[in-house]
Structure formats: C-alpha cells, structure tokens
Structure 1
C-alpha cells in the first residue's frame, strides 16, 4: 500500500501544480483584490472546453492553451463588467457568469464529453508520462509566479493592489478602481482558464461538469499555503505558498483515498478540509484569549 502511494505521489504533485495555477488566479481575486469571485467554476470548465476543441480542430497544444487563457479572460471581463458597470453585487455577478458559462461551454463542446488522447494529439503534458508532466507543470507554474511577481511591482500592479487594500483611498488617489477590478478579474480567470486547459491535456478529456467545486480547490490552495508559510510579506513567497498549498492538498487527498475514502465523498472531504483551515485562526484566537 505504501509503495502504491509513493508511486502515485509524482502524479499528485503534478495535479497539485496544475491546480495551483488556478490557485494563483484565486489568490489574485481573493487575497489581492479582496473580491469573492465565483466565476472560477465556469471559467475553469471554459478553459478545459476551449483547449479540447482547439486540439481537435488541429491547433498546437500551446496555442490551445492560449485560446483557453483568452476565453477565461473574457469570462473575467464579463463578471467585472456586471459588477462595475451594472452594479451587480460581486457574488451575484460571479454566479450569473458561472450559470451562463455552462451553456457557453456546451455550445463550445457540442456535447458533454470530449476525448483528447495523447495517441492522436501532441500534448504539452499527459498522465501517461507522469515525470514529464511534473517537469512541464513545474516550469509553467514557476514562469507564472515570476510573471505575477513582476506585474505586481509595476505601477499598474500597485494600482490593483491599492484597490484591494483600500478602495476609497485608491479612488482618492485618482485610481480608476472599477478598471482595476476588471483587470484583476481578467488576470485571475485567465490563469483559471490556463489551469483548465492544462488539466484537460493531462487527463486526456474534457467534461462539462469538471468545473464544479474548482473554487473550493483554489481556496484550499490559498488557505493551506497561507498556513504552511506564515510570513508572506513578499509576493514570490505568497504565490509559491499557494502552489505548495495546492500540492499539499492533493497529497492529502491521495492519502485519504488510499486509506479507503470513496471518491463519491471527495467533494464533502474538500469542503470540510477547507472549512477547518478557514476556521483555524478564529479558534486559535479564542483559545489564546481564554
């Protein structure tokens, strides 16, 4: 049993890194922009669907990922527009986008499931070659971390950060906070779309329902990462912690599966796992105050 678990560990780490890219997107909206974005479930599936359809149409795998990123960015822009232009509350704007994306994804795919086997398509990564997939996902995740660290040091990045820290103060400084919210959501959902595209290639299929619960996994990556690495005063550390949190989540998931947890209960376990990590600081303060 232990040998089987150790053999499965590289696969868990590869999946953790792929989902960690989604976690980076959630970190932008949840931590930096201070925005509760529920578009993630929909834009993740959109990236998945666009990548699969692009590969079937004959586009190279890298181009398919680019298309998925653009699709995710469009989804983020729509959510941002609903919130900033139409003044729809953040959570409702995300729910509306997520709902609409289900139909959009069905239109893109034409059916509920598509297969993109590595035997027929040249993929960036595949679960059939775990070590290669782990290497590719590590490089891609590292590139995105470095790009995000660079971006949030620019003037535009500082404006996005200021909007999340104190919107009224940012507006008083002449920052177009509505535009910064839209930009943050575009970046966030673009990363989510890329994560969906990479996971589609890794698993070799696209399913209309694969986006369900994606936001929970993204939150798990962010929250677990923040608990694993307490001092996150540098963006490189913060984003790296998110990737580590995602990998830790999938390693724990592998452990509980090997211990006998039914796959039917994985969503329940995920929700409880994230709830415990979110509640931990509150209970810790209560214990210390007693």
Structure 2
C-alpha cells in the first residue's frame, strides 16, 4: 500500500508539471488546448529516442521540452495567422502529432530498460528507491518551474498575457498584439507539457504512442481539484502563486485517488470512467458549495 501511495505521489508531481502547462492556456487564456494529448507524447518520444541513442538523460528532457514548444507554436500559428478556432487548431495539431510521434520512434513504443535516466542515476548515487528518486526530482523541477512562472507572470509581458485572457478587447484597445501573447502562451504551455512527457518517459522507462491520451482530462481534473482544495484554505486562492501550487497539489490528489481506488479492487479498464467522474465531481462541488453559501447568506439576512 505504501509503495502504491509513493508511486501515486511521484506520478502526481511529474504530471503536475503538465498540469501547469494546461493551467496557462485553460485558466489564464480560457483556451482548452487539445494539443496537450499530442505534445505530451511528443516529449516522451523525443526523450526516449535520444536516451536510447546515448544522449545525456538531462539533455534529452530539455529536448523534449523544446519539442513540446514547437508543437505549441504550430497550434499558435494556426490560431493566430489563419484564425482557425483554438480548439480546432489543437485538434489538428494533436492528430498530426500521432503520425509524427510514430516517425520519431519508428514504432509504437520505445523501451529504456537498459538505458540510464536521471532517476536511475540519482538512485545509483544515493541508494534511494525509484519512487523516492522520482519524488525528489519532480519536486525540484516543480519548485523551479512554479518559481519561474510566478516571476514571469509578474513581468510586463506576463501581466499582458494574463490580461489578454481577462479582457482581450481592452488589451487590443491599448495597442497590444494579442496574437503574440496567445502564441507565447501556447508555446510556453506545451513546452511544460513536453517536459512532463520526457520526465514521465524516463520515470516509467518507456515511451508509448498513446501515453498522452487523456492528458487534457487529467490536467483539467487536477486544476479543478486544486481549486476546490484551495478554497478550503484560509484566504483561498487570492494569490497567483497559490494557484500555481494548487495545480500541482491537485495533480497529486488526483493520482492518490486513482491509486486508492485501484487498491480497493477497481478494474484498471474503468480508469477512464473514473477520470470522467472525478472531473464531473470536481466541477460540480464548487457550484453546489456556492449555492449553499448563497442560501446561508440569504437566511442570515432574513433573520436580521
């Protein structure tokens, strides 16, 4: 049971980096970017091929991040230059990446069983288990990325990006090219998704053509779960940094829920159904909670 929980935490942290990418497009720009399912697998495919070829595992992860950024740029190009709706642009890129990922790997999956990874290198140096190594590496990367995003979105260009999602018409009236901010957001988002795909690839010791399937659902579930948890904390999610941390925390909680349900004997084939139920519940809970709070405020007003 403990091993399963540690595995869930490590998976949650590594996938949490992908969730941060989804957070940028979904929460800041209000764009449901479906490129994620493809760019996640692209990051894993690029990382796997390079590691098998003998490239340093850390450099392979950086290359995975770059590959994700290129995928995001393609979606951004379709959206901003040709004015194709963002959701359709993401679908087109995602479909294209399926064939591209097969071309990159040359087959449907690439094992790394005999190759060194950043996790195996840390394990050999410290003697720690694979799950603990994954947690350590994941935490280091996640902390660096959260700190970097917090700094970036506090800069002028980062503030413009956030404002584009809040009121695009107003930002355009101020003379800002919103197409550039959308392009930047999609590149940054998918770069993080590709980075997560590379880390997951090295952690699970293989890359698979279908490893990104359902990634967007996991990302949305984690974001909503994180927001629900954040609202229960004193002060809620009033600060941007807290929202970033809650996205990663939501990913960990999501994978813990999955691990607990599997330990209880649920068929692994039903995991997609479970994911959909978790997302639905996470979306419904805030609405129900708000209605309860509203009714309480009305009843208190009537008493007065």
> TM-score band (shorter)?
over 0.9
Q: CA deviation at 1:287?
A: 4.9
Structure 2 unaligned runs (5+)? 124-128, 296-304
The Cα offsets for residues 256-275 of structure 1, whole Å up to 9 and x where unpaired, read as: 00111111000110011101
Other-structure match for 1:151: 152
Give the structure 2 partner of residue 247 of structure 1. 252
- 1: distance between equivalents of 2:43 and 2:91? 17
Deviation at 1:130, TM superposition (A): 1.4
Q: Which residue of 1 aligns with 2:126?
A: none
Deviates further, 277-286 or 44-53: 277-286
User: 3-state DSSP class of the match of 1:125?
Assistant: helix
After superposition, the C-alpha distances for 1:227-249 in whole angstroms (9 at most, x for unaligned) are 10122222221111011100001
In the other structure, the counterpart of 2:237 is: 232
Segment drifting more, 280-289 vs 155-164: 280-289
Q: Aligned to 1:61, which of 57, 60, 78?
A: 57
Question: Which structure would you say has the larger Rg?
Answer: 2
Q: CA separation in 2, counterparts of 1:286 and 1:235?
A: 25
- CA displacement, residues 24-68 of structure 1 (integer Å, 9 cap, x when unaligned): 000000111211111000000000100001111211011101111
| 1:214 alignment counterpart | 215
Q: Please state if 1:274 is matched with 2:279.
A: yes
User: Does the 8 A contact of 2:42 with 2:97 survive in 1?
Assistant: yes
Contact between 2:228 and 2:286, CA under 8 Å: does it hold in 1?
A: no
Partner of 2:168: 167
SS in 2 for 1:229: helix
Whether the aligned pair in 2 keeps the contact of 1:77 and 1:186 (CA below 8 Å) is yes
For the residues of structure 2 that align with 1:280 and 1:83, how far apart are their CA atoms? 33
Number of residue equivalences:
284
TM-score (norm 1): 0.95
- Supply the distance in 1 between the matched residues of 2:133 and 2:192 (Cα, whole angstroms): 21
RMSD of aligned C-alpha atoms? 1.4
Contact preservation (8 Å) 1:125, 1:198: no
Measured after TM superposition, the shift of residue 286 of structure 1 is 4.5
- Change beyond 3 A, Cα 1:149–1:288: closer
Which moved further from structure 2: 124-133 or 215-224? 124-133
* DSSP-derived class of the 2:245 partner: helix
Find the aligned partners of 2:293 and 2:145 in 1 and give their Cα distance. 38
* Aligned counterpart, 2:180: 179
Q: How much has 1:289 moved relative to structure 2?
A: 5.8
Structure 1 match to 2:302: none
TM-score, normalized by length of structure 2? 0.90
Secondary structure of 1:34's match?
A: coil
CA distance in 1, matches of 2:133, 2:97: 32
Aligned to 2:103: 107
- SS of corresponding position for 1:86: coil
Equivalent residue, structure 2, for 1:43: 39
Displaced runs of 4+ in structure 1, greater than 3 A? 283-290
The answer to whether the 8 A contact 2:230-2:237 is kept is yes
Which residue is 1:8 aligned to?
4
